[in-house]
Chains A and B, each alone.
Chain A
Amino acid sequence: MPAPVEASKKRKSSKNAGAPSKRRAVAEDDFTETLSTIEKLENEIAESRKHYNNISTLISMLDVEKSAKKPELAVAVSLCRVFSRLMAAGNFAESSRAAENEKIITAWLKERCLEYQRALLAIMREADTTSQVCEPRLYRGVKVKLTRNPQITALTLSMRIIKERITHIPGAENAVWSTNFKHIVEAVIEAQDGQDLQTEFIEKFVKEFEDVRYHTFGEIAEYASIRRSSDVFDSLVAILSACDDVPGDDHEFENFFATPGGKNKRLTSVNSHKKRAQEAWLAILRNNISQAQRKSLLRIMVHHIEPWFSRPELLMDFLTDSYNFGGATSLLALSGLFYLIQEKNLDYPQFYAKLYSLLDADLLHSKHRSRFFRLLNTFLASTHLPAALIASFLKRLARLALNAPPSAIVVIVPFMYNIFKNHPTCTFMMHREIRDKDLAADIEAAGMDDPFDPTEKDPTRTGAIESSLWEIETLQSHYHPNVAAIARIISEQFTKQQYNLEDFLDHTYQGMVEAELGTGEKPLRKVPVVEYQIPKRIFTDRLLAEDGGVDSGPAAFMRGLWDFS
């Protein structure tokens, strides 16, 4: 390479080496000067081969080791342009007939390109996302494209390079996807403060282009096959669950990021896409995931995960494990499991026993309550279930209703009503006349215990069918008039065919209070009744002596317990 160029490069590089450190202090004049230098170098490269050394100058200007946190984005962009041009010009193409020195140049260029890509990956991993704040000010009026997060810029640039390589270098496709793209995906997943980067990756590339998605699935499957730390999984799950539009059977794949001459057969078949996705999900599910992640996975199971699976039975292990977990996790696993039982003939022994054990103290207070009741409604819908089992569920629910918030009670009672309609043998729980004279006399004399055994695990052996729903009868005197009215339906004639359970599922305290109070001032339709007696005392012992020191009257109870002073 000619010496003058060398000299000039040295001069410039020395000048530029000092620039970044000074940059904060020096005003924009200095910065525009840098820009013009970059532009000049770039133009020289375009002019002739002689100036190829400028590439290494530019790469050293990028200087990843020192400034990965605050990269010189203008340099990166200009390098990207340089490489794109070179690739388009065919300088990267290897031909066996080419001269030896040509080959050397090509190899050298490739090396530089790799170096550049590594630099970009380093930027993606480590760049300080906060630097974007100052970027707009610095670059205003010069390049709008750069007013962004350096991570995102780096991502865009490296994807650009990938695209150029695939389009212009024949036969490079597989190598590019399996190496370069893999590094990009890893960088995206492991990036520091990578939220924006990941969303950008998902929105601009994965969702947009089907081949990118295809390869992403592959990379994630490979990545997750090794045990990883659990916080990495959040981003993995985020990426995977973002791809929720599962292609239909006759889907035509059209959106490709980089289209090489001959279309790849694997890329155009739905099955291979699904297979890749399935592998990716399975790799994640097999890895060690935290409790919270398991729950969130279960939550998206039906809508985001299962559609990707051409063989959903592969989910069986995960779901049964989750179902056996107990608590809210079991509740969430229920719907996925039900899907498998219904569609894939999964045999789950002791399903109802397990379901019965889910009815615990926390169920009616949990936020998955309505979800559970929807499923329970499905599970108990069959009229072929044994009455003893149904009765156990009813009795258990009634027990729980005694400690339940009103919003749960209003679900339970219509639910019971529907079940009574389907299983008339259970109606003995509401109405039982004792025909046996001896037994009747016995009960008359000594009362009775509840025949229901709450500790029995097997729902067919609890003896609930011999019991009565005293709990619901007690709830007929619930403090809230509407709840009491609903509880009363089981003691009235069963004239209605079914209650629509959906109408009762989503009541809350807030909704109930609002129903009573309204949201704004509205005149009352009825004059409220006022207590006719004005109490003598509310908080204090006023005039207690007059009553002979005996505190009676409305608020006496409060005064007995509390000291207002």
Chain B
Amino acid sequence: MPPSQLKQLKASLRDSGVVGPQQSKKQKRQNAKSGATTQNRNQRNAALQAIRDRFNPFEIKVPSNRSKFDATTRDGPSTSAGHSRPGVTKSLGEERRRATLLQEMNTRNKVGGLVDRRFGENDPTMTPEERAAERFARESQKKMRKESMFNLEEEEDEFQLTHLGQGLSFDEKDRDDFEMGGSDNGESDDETSRKRKRFVEAEEEEEDFIDNPEGDDLHERKKSKAEVMKEVIAKSKFYKHERQQAKEDDDDLRDELDKELPDLFEALRGMKAPAKPEPPKQDLDTMNPERAAMLQGPEKTDAEKEYDQRLKQLTFDKRSQPTDRTKTEEEKIEEEAERLKKLEEDRMKRMRGEQVSDEEGEEEDDDKDSFFNDEEEESDIDDATAFGLPSASYEPRPNLAVEDEDDFLIDDDLVETRSNVSLSVDEDDMEESDLSDEDESEQSEQEDELINGMSLPAASAASTAVAASKSADGKLAFTYPCPDSHDEFTALIKGVPNEDVPTIVQRIRALHHPRLHPDNKAKLGRFSEILVEHVSYMANQPEPSFVLAESILRHVHSLAKTHPINVAMAFRARLREISKDRPLNLLPGDLAILTGISTVFPTSDHFHAVSTPAHLCLARFLGQCSANTLSDFATGAFATSLCLQYQAVAKRYMPELINYALNALCNLAPTEPTKGLGSFPYRKSEESVRLAPSKKVTPRKLQFRDLATSPSEDQAKEELKISLVTTFISLLDTSSDLWAEKSAFTEIFTPVREMLNHLQQSFKSKVYTSVRDLVQSTLDKINAHLDQSRLTRRPLLLHNHRPLAIKAGIPKFEENFNPDKHYDPDRERAESNRLKAELKRERKGAMRELRKDASFVAREKLREKKERDSEYEKKYKRLVAEIQNEEGRAANDYEKERRGRQGKR
């Protein structure tokens, strides 16, 4: 059985040393001196509090649910977690409210009051001694800083409002608050809400309050020795400083007096000294103004600073570099070759669909966008080349030896001026004018720059004049307006012989050179579109002049270098027209346009805004057109050869080409093939176009006009047929060369071989001797290619990829797993969850606080009311008692009187 409460209390008091044996007087004195008493008192208080807590079982709240066994939780036995002391916290909260909320309540609707702004008064981290010391130090510093209040030399900032000799500074208070905010490290980790902050303040104040009894004692008590020494040292320092200050002041005064001495002498002598010469001033007018300014500058130091600055700037300046040496011919050629090689490499890159090194970075994106909108379009071109696609093996075309003519067309600066001249038809006539024209134009260019482009008409007139005088036809006008539409252009060249049209074009280009007028660039852009239209217009004429078409196409090409967008848009517009109006019957003009595309734009590009649709147009025509008449087949032959020319560099495979060629040969062959020759669709032409010559026919070169007109007499017809056959055979020949490297060459060309065999069979007749050799040679070549293809054939190895990692299904194991923590791999979600939980917690806390506040306020009000009521009651009672008292007295008096009267009676 445990001992009684009283005994326990006594025992614990003894244990903690609160109650001990009586101390002797000497000991007491010693303790008082060394300050041990304060320490003891603190200890004692703490011990007493602990004992009080221990002996009040109602103070401690134990959680209702038992804690779990250690084995079931990783948290371990949490001893402190469950034991809260609701009474303590409640009373604490109550006190805080009394300190803050009550104050607020009392001061509500009231104005004025006292604010304690003494230094350190609100800073709980300072002990009263520290506060006092700090206050003293500040005071003395303030005194040291200014000698006298009335010293006007000093800044007047120091002048302060005082109250009873004490400075009133408001910033100190602010600072204290700020420091306090920083110092409440206990709870500053959490985001303290408004309420909490208030409580923090209160808490600290409370601590002060608790300390205060002792602090009050200390104020009265003597200062310790250390403090005294500190004060002494501070004082001596202060005095020393004052002395130094005084000495410096004296020195200054002396200097001043010394300066005034010459004047004084002057005054004493009574005469003026000769005026000093002022050489620097005169200099200033003549010298460099900047330098003058520098010399004149307010102070020497500034000048030096500026000098330094300049010097530094100079070090960062670019050093002048030696200009390029004039190059020798060989070097120029070499450079040119280098440049062409670079251009060729760029083309190869574009062909493989790679990004061109120094060109626009968004190229790839454009490519991507232009694909279908299916999601699978990840064209990994590098992979493709790694698999040894034929496009990877290329040799740069041996075109490096280029003429001057094309040479200077490429230099951007010179293209516009010189290409005009170079592109004229009658080159021989222009030969001399070439040089002079060049010089002149160059001169005019220089002039342009010198006079800011003012007198341009003259310069241009000069150049055209030269061109005109040398071109030996006086009747052409020198100036032409730049046409706005194709009709205007046709009107312009109406009646002009074909040979002169290029001259007109050239003059229009010269007259509207972009350097001459800012609008000219747009005008020439429009003009280039008109030229493109004109090419197709010309080819559609019954008797097209290809000399003219060629020269105009070359003009278009050179214009395309400066106006690539305009030219490309013009070509695209034509292609659009073709695909809308006549995708399956191309006109000669359309074919001319498609030919133009093959020269103006690189058809080898993986993706190109003009050549890709052009390819599609051609392929669509070949794949779907109806081939019924000889002229249809001629058109088809032209389109087929265009396709081959398009693919001359890139060597991409076109299924439509093979289909068409084989189909055409099937239709043209003297006898119909008995069995299917391959997997191409065979479409019979409506009218028979089979070769059936009566006498010997010789193939000729196909002519462009065969596209439009088919001959009427039999002999010419047969001739056309046999030439078509030879053309198709040679086309197949060329295509077999082009695609020899393809892995499916065997599959593509086995039908071709069958076809040729069939032709060989049917050409046994004597009339075909001329063709037989061609067929045989092509057959031999294809056979050779087929053998080669068989030799190089290997099983496909397309999937040499690094194997994909198998998805791991093992759950992630967490070391030191804590069930309370959230292990969300998604950081953002985890963060938002955390914030949500915090918000919830804060909201609950705030609500709880508000509720408690409200109940506190209500309680306070009730208390006040009760107080008032009781006061009133007291007063009332007092008054009643008073009156009763008086009444009683009066009654007594009356009674006395009455009795007295009775007695008298």
Residues on A facing B (Cβ under 8 Å): 360-362, 365, 399-406, 409-410, 414, 427, 429-434, 443, 446-450, 468-471, 473-482, 484-486, 488-493, 495-496, 499, 503-504, 507, 509-510, 512-519, 521, 523-540, 542-543, 546, 552-555, 557-558, 561-565
Decide if B27 is an interface residue (CB 8 Å cutoff): no
Is A405 touching B655 in the complex (CB atoms < 8 A)?
yes
Q: In the complex where A450-B746, A534-B409 touch, is A562 in contact with B703 (Cβ < 8 A)?
A: yes
Contacts of B745 in A (CB 8 A): 474
CA A557 to CA B649, docked complex, whole Å: 12
Contacts of B795 in A (CB 8 A): 432-434, 443, 448, 468
Decide if B471 is an interface residue (CB 8 Å cutoff): no
Is B353 touching A534 in the complex (CB atoms < 8 A)?
no
Identify which of B546, B569, B644, B743 contacts A557 (C-beta below 8 A).
B644
Is B376 touching A486 in the complex (CB atoms < 8 A)?
yes
Is A473 touching B701 in the complex (CB atoms < 8 A)?
no
Contacts of B607 in A (CB 8 A): 481
Specify the chain B residue showing the minimal Cβ separation from A539.
B546
A492 to chain B, nearest CB (A): 6
Specify the chain A residue showing the minimal Cβ separation from B609.
A528
Decide if B550 is an interface residue (CB 8 Å cutoff): yes
Contacts of B641 in A (CB 8 A): 557-558, 561-562
> Which of B371, B372, B734 has most A Cβ within 10 Å?
B372
Specify the chain B residue showing the minimal Cβ separation from A472.
B744
Interface mask (B367-389 → A, CB under 8 Å = 1, otherwise 0): 10011101011111001100101
> Which of A401, A405, A553 has most B Cβ within 10 Å?
A405
CA A78 to CA B380, docked complex, whole Å: 83
Is A361 touching B681 in the complex (CB atoms < 8 A)?
yes
Contacts of B557 in A (CB 8 A): 530-531, 534-535
Is B427 touching A543 in the complex (CB atoms < 8 A)?
yes
Minimum-distance CB pairs A-B, first 7: A539-B546, A474-B744, A447-B791, A431-B799, A468-B796, A432-B795, A491-B798
Is A448 touching B376 in the complex (CB atoms < 8 A)?
no
Specify the chain A residue showing the minimal Cβ separation from B795.
A432
Is A480 touching B612 in the complex (CB atoms < 8 A)?
yes
Near A by CB (< 8 A), chain B positions 692-726 give: 701-704
Q: In the complex where A493-B801, A532-B343, A535-B599 touch, is A478 in contact with B399 (Cβ < 8 A)?
A: no
Decide if B526 is an interface residue (CB 8 Å cutoff): no
CA A504 to CA B583, docked complex, whole Å: 23
Q: In the complex where A536-B403, A561-B701 touch, is A491 in contact with B799 (Cβ < 8 A)?
A: yes
CA A456 to CA B376, docked complex, whole Å: 35
Contacts of A401 in B (CB 8 A): 655
Near A by CB (< 8 A), chain B positions 521-547 give: 546-547
Is B747 touching A531 in the complex (CB atoms < 8 A)?
no
Identify which of A402, A478, A543 contacts B748 (C-beta below 8 A).
A402
Decide if B514 is an interface residue (CB 8 Å cutoff): no
Given contacts A478-B654, A521-B569, 8 further A-B contacts (CB under 8 A): A365-B681, A399-B679, A402-B679, A432-B795, A482-B372, A531-B602, A561-B731, A565-B703
Is A443 touching B616 in the complex (CB atoms < 8 A)?
no
Q: In the complex where A361-B679, A447-B791, A562-B704 touch, is A526 in contact with B644 (Cβ < 8 A)?
A: no
CA A360 to CA B682, docked complex, whole Å: 11
Is A485 touching B371 in the complex (CB atoms < 8 A)?
yes
Is B600 touching A450 in the complex (CB atoms < 8 A)?
no
Is A495 touching B653 in the complex (CB atoms < 8 A)?
no
A391 to chain B, nearest CB (A): 13
Is A492 touching B383 in the complex (CB atoms < 8 A)?
yes
Is A479 touching B372 in the complex (CB atoms < 8 A)?
no
A401 to chain B, nearest CB (A): 8
Q: Which of B291-299, B573-581, B860-868 lines the interface with chain A?
A: B573-581
Interface mask (B673-694 → A, CB under 8 Å = 1, otherwise 0): 0001011111000000000000
B72 to chain A, nearest CB (A): 44
Is A503 touching B374 in the complex (CB atoms < 8 A)?
yes
Contacts of A431 in B (CB 8 A): 796-800
Interface mask (B740-754 → A, CB under 8 Å = 1, otherwise 0): 001111111000000
Is A515 touching B372 in the complex (CB atoms < 8 A)?
yes
Q: In the complex where A362-B681, A564-B546 touch, is A473 in contact with B623 (Cβ < 8 A)?
A: no
Identify which of B405, B554, B642 contacts A558 (C-beta below 8 A).
B642
A284 to chain B, nearest CB (A): 32
Is B790 touching A449 in the complex (CB atoms < 8 A)?
yes
B859 to chain A, nearest CB (A): 70
Decide if B595 is an interface residue (CB 8 Å cutoff): yes
Decide if B617 is an interface residue (CB 8 Å cutoff): yes
B532 to chain A, nearest CB (A): 13
Is A535 touching B554 in the complex (CB atoms < 8 A)?
yes
Is A564 touching B704 in the complex (CB atoms < 8 A)?
yes
Is B747 touching A399 in the complex (CB atoms < 8 A)?
yes
Interface mask (B572-593 → A, CB under 8 Å = 1, otherwise 0): 1101100100010000000000
Q: In the complex where A477-B390, A563-B703 touch, is A526 in contact with B363 (Cβ < 8 A)?
A: yes
Is A558 touching B371 in the complex (CB atoms < 8 A)?
no
CA A401 to CA B658, docked complex, whole Å: 12
Contacts of B378 in A (CB 8 A): 485, 492
CA A123 to CA B703, docked complex, whole Å: 63
Interface mask (B398-420 → A, CB under 8 Å = 1, otherwise 0): 01001101100110000000010
Q: In the complex where A470-B796, A512-B616 touch, is A527 in contact with B600 (Cβ < 8 A)?
A: no
Is B679 touching A478 in the complex (CB atoms < 8 A)?
no
Contacts of B379 in A (CB 8 A): 481, 484-485, 488
Is B599 touching A557 in the complex (CB atoms < 8 A)?
no
Contacts of A484 in B (CB 8 A): 379, 652
CA A552 to CA B795, docked complex, whole Å: 38
> Which of B410, B608, B612, B642 has most A Cβ within 10 Å?
B612
Decide if B778 is an interface residue (CB 8 Å cutoff): no
Is A533 touching B371 in the complex (CB atoms < 8 A)?
no
Contacts of B612 in A (CB 8 A): 480-481, 516
CA A535 to CA B405, docked complex, whole Å: 10
CA A546 to CA B797, docked complex, whole Å: 50
Identify which of A469, A493, A525 contacts B366 (C-beta below 8 A).
A525
Is A447 touching B792 in the complex (CB atoms < 8 A)?
yes
Is A477 touching B727 in the complex (CB atoms < 8 A)?
no
Contacts of B572 in A (CB 8 A): 517
Decide if B350 is an interface residue (CB 8 Å cutoff): yes
A534 to chain B, nearest CB (A): 5
Specify the chain B residue showing the minimal Cβ separation from A364.
B681
Is B601 touching A529 in the complex (CB atoms < 8 A)?
yes
> Which of B553, B561, B569, B681 has most A Cβ within 10 Å?
B681
Is B564 touching A528 in the complex (CB atoms < 8 A)?
yes
> Which of A470, A473, A479 has most B Cβ within 10 Å?
A479
Is A504 touching B374 in the complex (CB atoms < 8 A)?
yes
CA A518 to CA B576, docked complex, whole Å: 8
Contacts of A507 in B (CB 8 A): 372
CA A295 to CA B583, docked complex, whole Å: 29
Is A474 touching B742 in the complex (CB atoms < 8 A)?
yes
Contacts of B734 in A (CB 8 A): 557
Contacts of A561 in B (CB 8 A): 641, 701-702, 727, 730-731
CA A427 to CA B573, docked complex, whole Å: 45
CA A474 to CA B647, docked complex, whole Å: 15
CA A558 to CA B637, docked complex, whole Å: 11
Decide if B804 is an interface residue (CB 8 Å cutoff): yes
A488 to chain B, nearest CB (A): 6
B474 to chain A, nearest CB (A): 26
CA A473 to CA B387, docked complex, whole Å: 10
A394 to chain B, nearest CB (A): 13
CA A446 to CA B790, docked complex, whole Å: 8
CA A518 to CA B568, docked complex, whole Å: 14
B410 to chain A, nearest CB (A): 6
Q: In the complex where A491-B383, A492-B378 touch, is A406 in contact with B619 (Cβ < 8 A)?
A: yes
Contacts of A525 in B (CB 8 A): 362, 366
Decide if B605 is an interface residue (CB 8 Å cutoff): yes
Is A514 touching B546 in the complex (CB atoms < 8 A)?
no
B60 to chain A, nearest CB (A): 64
CA A256 to CA B654, docked complex, whole Å: 63
Is A531 touching B550 in the complex (CB atoms < 8 A)?
no
